[in-house]
Amino acid sequence: MEVKVLKNILSANDELAERNRQLLEGKGVFAVNIMSSPGAGKTSLILETIKRLKDKLKIGVVEGDVSSSIDADKISQQKVPVIQINTDGGCHLDANMASSALNNLPLGEVELLFIENVGNLICPAGFRLGEHKKAVLASVPEGDDKPYKYPAMFQIADVVLVNKIDLLPYLQFDIKGFSKAVKALNQNAEIFQISCTTGEGIEDWISWVLANVHPSTP
Amino acid sequence: MEVKVLKNILSANDELAERNRQLLEGKGVFAVNIMSSPGAGKTSLILETIKRLKDKLKIGVVEGDVSSSIDADKISQQKVPVIQINTDGGCHLDANMASSALNNLPLGEVELLFIENVGNLICPAGFRLGEHKKAVLASVPEGDDKPYKYPAMFQIADVVLVNKIDLLPYLQFDIKGFSKAVKALNQNAEIFQISCTTGEGIEDWISWVLANVHPSTP
């Protein structure tokens, strides 16, 4: 009897992620999955980006949290469409949760979508949501050894943002050593140093966002 | 036919945790499971505790990390027995991992055992290891909203340590609001404010440790 050989089957999550991606592209939405430890500044980064870009771009946000709608409440004050996903104990977003959120957003009115993942430097790295780019925040007070301890997250990052650089005078953090460790895991990762509190470095991130939302035609 | 009704069966993890607990008690070891986000100061707390107590108590350490032996290397410089567990991507320690570590420690020479969990404010909350007490660190730069966003971790904590209070002058952190949120989830949690950098408040934690390792006879 003939043996059926099935090749290149996507996992259920990857298949759903691919469908999310197609939905987003059909609507002309560029999506960024934002990941970090708890409290590294994901929501602050999104808020700072909205303040600088809301007159240039139509922005939407998906907020992922184990519990509460604290972050979505902050975002909604900026008058952009936002959906809160509560995972009820779940440690990461997955493509199915993202799909539900996308179905509840006015995608026709969105050009740039931020998907803020659950605060966790491990599990979210393993689940594609359909995003175009992955941004990982590291925070100066967490220490400079995180790429060694949580390599998967830094391996998949398209861009790494070192946040809270305003605290560098009060802490030991070897920014060169950190960047070297990230590059050793992931040569292509772009690294920006920022402070959402003082605004330092945010313009580099904004330039990256604009270049990716509307890439210059070759 | 008679229907068998099985009651009070522990999960595989809880059963192993119970065995670990019995092993520890047989050897007279008091064990604390230390949990937090990445970079909140678990290793620093263990180091500061060793420095203050190593002449009074025999201390051992289990270090849990996704990758690397950075933390175990730091601990071993203090000349206390230490075992590093690498989870290879796993987001928490479980009782089986803890069991392997216990089998590789000279438990007869240990009175106080710290088990440093993987840096993650979600998943470790669901897995007993056999410990007597659970200590959860929160870090001032993470922000004061963490009990709302990660309630399970604060619900199971016996003691909550708010670390990096030396950074309070440079950050917005409502310590009263934070404590109130913790107490709303978990009335019995003790809360200490500490700085592993300046040493402030560490003596309260040391007193807690000593009172628990050698509880006064009633």
**Contact flag B167-A166 (C-beta cutoff 8 Å):** no
- The distance of B214 to chain A (nearest Cα, Å) reads 33
What's residue A4's pLDDT? Answer: 78
Average pLDDT over residues A150-167: 98
Residues B89-111: b if buried by 16+ CB within 10 A, e if exposed? ebbbbbbebbbebbeebebeebb
Q: How far apart are CA B101 and CA B99, in angstroms?
A: 5
Cα separation of the two ends of chain A = 52
A166 neighbourhood in chain B, CB within 8 Å: 170
Phi, psi (deg, nearest 5) at residue B10 = -75, 150
pTM attached to this predicted model: 0.93
Distance of CA A95 to the CA centre of its chain: 14
Give CA–CA dist A149/A142, Å, rounded: 12
**Cα–Cα distance, A116 to A93 (Å, whole number):** 9
Task: State residue B119's pLDDT score.
Answer: 98
| pLDDT in the model for residue A2 | 79
Which DSSP string corresponds to chain B? -PPP---SPPPHHHHHHHHHHHHHHHTT-EEEEEE-STTSSHHHHHHHHHHHHTTTS-EEEEEEESS-SHHHHHHHTTT--EEEEE-TT-SS--HHHHHHHHHTS-GGG-SEEEEE--S-SSGGGG---S-SEEEEEEEGGG-TTHHHHSHHHHHS-SEEEEE-GGGGGGS---HHHHHHHHHHH-TT-EEEE--TTT-TTHHHHHHHHHHHHSPPP-
A150 interfaces chain B, CB cutoff of 8 Å? yes
Handedness of CA A43, A49, A52, A53 (dihedral sign): negative
CB contact under 8 A, A70 and B121: no
Tell me which chain B residue has its CA closest to the CA of residue A42: B142
Instruction: Write down the pLDDT at residue A7.
Output: 67
Strand order in the sheet with A112-116: A82-86, A59-65, A112-116, A30-35, A133-139, A159-163, A190-193
- Write out chain B residues lying below 8 Å of A40, CB-based: 142
| Chain A contact set for B67 (CB, 8 A) | 148-151
Compute the nearest-CA separation of B93 from chain A (Å).
Answer: 13
Q: Does B210 touch chain A (CB under 8 A)?
A: no
Contacting residues of A for B91, CB less than 8 Å apart = 91, 120, 122-123
Check residues A6 and B17 and name the one with the higher pLDDT.
Answer: B17
- Read off the pLDDT of residues A170-218 as tens digits, 9 standing for 90 and up: 999 999 999 999 999 999 999 999 999 999 999 999 999 999 997 764 4
Whether B70 contacts chain A with CB within 8 A: yes
- Rounded CA-CA distance A210/A46 in Å is 14
Answer yes or no: do A38 and B119 touch at CB < 8 A: no
Q: Note the pLDDT of residue B216.
A: 60
Strand partners, B83: B62
Closest CA to B75 of B47, B48, B56: B47
d(CA B192, CA B200): 10
Q: What are A102-155's pLDDT values in tens digits?
A: 999 999 999 999 999 999 999 999 999 999 999 999 999 999 999 999 999 999
pLDDT of residue A11: 86
What does each of the 218 residues of chain B score in pLDDT, given as a tens digit?
A: 778 777 666 789 999 999 999 999 999 999 999 999 999 999 999 999 999 999 999 999 999 999 999 999 999 999 999 999 999 999 999 999 999 999 999 999 999 999 999 999 999 999 999 999 999 999 999 999 999 999 999 999 999 999 999 999 999 999 999 999 999 999 999 999 999 999 999 999 999 999 999 776 44
Our CA-based measurement puts residue B17 at a distance from the nearest CA of chain A, in whole angstroms, of: 22
CA distance A6 to chain B (A): 28
Q: For residue A5, what pLDDT is reported?
A: 77
Chain A interface includes B121 (CB < 8 A): yes
Residue A156: pLDDT band (50, 70, 90) is: very high
The secondary structure of residue A124, as a DSSP letter, is G
What pLDDT, on a 0 to 100 scale, did the predictor assign at position A216?
Answer: 60
Q: CA-CA distance, B164 to B74, in Å (whole number)?
A: 19
Contact A66 B152 (CB under 8 A): yes
Q: How far is B108 from chain A (nearest CA, A)?
A: 31
Average pLDDT over residues A160-173: 97
Could you tell me if B177 lies within 8 Å of chain A, comparing CB atoms? no
What was the pLDDT predicted at B6? Answer: 72
Pick from B3, B210, B1: nearest CA to B111 = B210
